[in-house]
Structure 1
Amino acid sequence: MMPQITKSHPEAASPLFDLSAFPLVRLPMPEPGIAGTGERWAAEFDAILGRGERFVLLSIGPMPEDEAHEDRKARTLWLKRRRADLGRLCLAHLHVERDPDRRAAMQDRAAKMAGAFPYPLALFDCEDTALDRAWTLLRAVPLTL
């Protein structure tokens, strides 16, 4: 059996988060087999929280299931450290999964993990519906505290 090769994420790559439509923050799903993004993810998320403005996360596609241990550890430690700020500023995480079977499986996992995240997670079958919900949420509350 051949060992699995894990590629490192290039340090000079573009940002992980897409802030071009802030306060809508696009959260890309990590590519399978790519390791080394955990610390960068945490630093970029710190910068988003540092804005002090409310936002909505939007992600699209399959959630990674084989994340590198060090990356998962970095995200978990960051979440524990920044949980209160994240809960205060992130209105929701909206995720688009077009495949009904994967969406159902994600819904089951999301229900079990609801207490781990300080914001609601909602799943959608199309991006337009998720975007409508995101902008409805963002219009409903003051964005600055």
Structure 2
Amino acid sequence: MTDENAPFPRVLILCIAVTGGVMAAVTAQLAYARLGLDLGAAWRDMMGARTGQMRSAFAWWAIALTAFAAGLVIAWIVRLMASAQSSLAAVRWIGGAVLVVALALVGHEAGAPTGLAPGAGVALGLISLTVAGLLSLLGAYFATRR
């Protein structure tokens, strides 16, 4: 039997925040790529103009900041919602449905070609997901400190 009045474990809050932070970073990466700020511009313009490298650096920093802020905010919200478990059940269901619809819309945009070699695209994706996961964990840690 579980106690319904027990607070969420800290590890569960951290896992939720890291997952949400990585999703927010992927969403930001797709949105910035649509604006012309993609992560692979530094590799494509290695010998070319410096503007591509600056745009790529800005995209990296913006995605890192997005992951950190999302991890912090999501951990804070989960911590607040855990204290009022029974009164916010409908809000959680509506929020979950909105999240699924938003991720479906973002996933539809993810199929666009990047212009990089497949290996470079995979490496870039894995590196950005790792950075996003670590920074969202750091943001969640600051939100759940006691």
Query: Which band: TM-score by shorter chain?
Result: under 0.3
Q: Which is bigger in relative contact order (C-alpha 8 A, separation at least 6)?
A: 2
The two structures have a TM-score, normalised by structure 2, of 0.28
Query: With structure 1 as the length reference, what TM-score do the two structures score?
Result: 0.28
Larger radius of gyration: 2
More helix by share: 2
